[in-house]
């Protein structure tokens, strides 16, 4: 084999998979496509600082008022480590031999496998993104359920006692029934001080979506709109069902966590992945060479205290 080496395939995968995955994620998936995508060179994860208390010396004053003690900014470090998703690509020895004298054919050899793997990774990441991060022994993405909560530790900060200001605005429905007033109460809590959030999107599964559509009073009953008609500053994938309440688009996502309505302030959310994928192998399996591909990624919410949820909806 003079024109094509197995190392050529390994290099091609490492170079082309990131963009293929980014294209597939942005083009085909309604949930992953909601969050801005970013990339990173690597490292252990992504970290940021949170200023959770302003300077206590700042106030209005008049002549003759006594000096106040200087305040200080209260800042903590938050962050999440990368989580890794793995898949395999199989390339037959026959295909490699057919391209032995023309290394430029490498893209044709592996392109279908690359696109197929990207779609499979996307599907798995969507499932992880809707979770609380405890799946597969804690190896899954730190998903939406982990970010929008009260009593857990999120982004290094323990919320039950030490950092209660970091808790999201979450209410469980007594008896499971949901009313219009319940939704309004959650929005009001998010918008008021100290959260001062700007909720811009609510997401739920089909059952909760139907419940909300049916309970809204006649004067605010929404119409179903094409995604392109939703004027919220967010680009939706085609074909999703959206209704609005109090200026907030409520989006139906098939397969989404049952019994919950998540209300998001989109500022600070991002789905980031490590630009350089890890490709190992190949190993020989029957008549095929098997390449292992790993992608490091994470869903980040920099302002978990500005997010809300109504749970236990039936």
pLDDT above 60: residue 271: yes
Rg of the Cα atoms in the chain: 24
pLDDT tens figures, 196-240: 999 999 999 989 988 988 887 655 655 555 444 444 434 444 446
Q: What is the predicted pLDDT for the residue at 37?
A: 76
pLDDT tens figures, 84-96: 988 888 888 777 7
Which residues 6+ apart lie within 8 Å of 91 measured at CB?
9, 109, 110, 113, 282, 288, 289, 291
Domain residue limits, the chain: 6-45+77-311
Confidence class for position 68, pLDDT limits 50, 70, 90: low
Residue 4 vs residues 9, 11, 93, 291: alpha-carbon distances, Å = 8, 12, 12, 16
Q: What is the predicted pLDDT for the residue at 168?
A: 97
Q: What is the predicted pLDDT for the residue at 104?
A: 64
pLDDT above 90: residue 7: no
Q: What is the predicted pLDDT for the residue at 31?
A: 76
Look up the pTM and report it: 0.81
Residue with the larger pLDDT of the pair 2 and 118: 118
Residue with the larger pLDDT of the pair 48 and 238: 48
The whole-angstrom separation of Cα 243 and Cα 238 is 15
Axis-axis angle for helices 6-28, 106-129 (nearest 10): 50
What's phi and psi for 53, nearest 5 deg? -150, 125
Q: Cβ atoms within 10 A of the Cβ of 242, count?
A: 22
Confidence class for position 78, pLDDT limits 50, 70, 90: very high
Least confident range from 114-118, 122-126, 252-256: namely 114-118
* Residues 88/9, Cβ–Cβ less than 8 Å: no
Tell me the torsion sign for CA atoms 96, 97, 99, 101: positive
Q: If you average pLDDT over every residue of the chain, what do you get?
A: 81
Max mean pLDDT among 90-94, 104-108, 248-252 falls in 248-252
Residue with the larger pLDDT of the pair 69 and 3: 69
The whole-angstrom separation of Cα 38 and Cα 57 is 38
Provide the 3-class DSSP secondary structure of residue 210. Answer: helix
């Amino acid at each position: 084999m003079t024109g094509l080496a197995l190392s050529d395939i390994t290099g091609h995968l490492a170079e082309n998979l990131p963009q293929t995955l980014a294209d597939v994620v942005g083009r085909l998936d309604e949930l992953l496509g909601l969050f801005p995508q970013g990339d990173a060179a690597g490292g252990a994860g992504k970290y940021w600082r949170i200023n959770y208390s302003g300077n206590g010396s700042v106030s209005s004053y008049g002549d003759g008022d006594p000096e106040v003690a200087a305040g200080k900014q209260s800042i903590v470090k938050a962050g999440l480590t990368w989580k890794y998703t793995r898949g395999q690509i199989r390339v037959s020895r026959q295909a490699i031999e057919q391209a032995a004298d023309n290394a430029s054919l490498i893209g044709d050899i592996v392109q279908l496998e690359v696109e197929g793997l990207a779609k499979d990774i996307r599907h798995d990441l969507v499932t992880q993104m809707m979770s609380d991060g405890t799946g597969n022994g804690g190896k899954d993405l730190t998903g939406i359920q982990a970010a929008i909560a009260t009593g857990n530790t999120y982004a290094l900060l323990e919320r039950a006692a030490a950092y209660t200001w970091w808790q999201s605005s979450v209410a469980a429905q007594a008896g499971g029934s949901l009313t219009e007033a319940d939704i309004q109460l959650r929005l009001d809590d998010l918008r008021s001080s100290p959260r001062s959030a700007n909720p811009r999107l609510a997401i739920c599964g089909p059952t909760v979506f139907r419940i909300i559509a049916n309970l809204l009073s006649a004067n605010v009953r929404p119409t179903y709109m094409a995604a392109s008609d939703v004027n919220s500053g967010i680009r939706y994938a085609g074909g999703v069902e959206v209704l609005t309440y109090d200026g907030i688009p409520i989006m139906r996502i098939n397969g989404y966590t049952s019994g919950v309505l998540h209300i998001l302030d989109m500022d600070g959310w991002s789905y980031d992945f490590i630009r350089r994928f890890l490709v190992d192998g190949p190993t020989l399996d029957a008549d095929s060479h098997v390449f292992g591909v790993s992608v490091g990624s994470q869903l980040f919410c920099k302002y978990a205290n500005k997010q809300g949820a109504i749970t236990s909806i039936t």
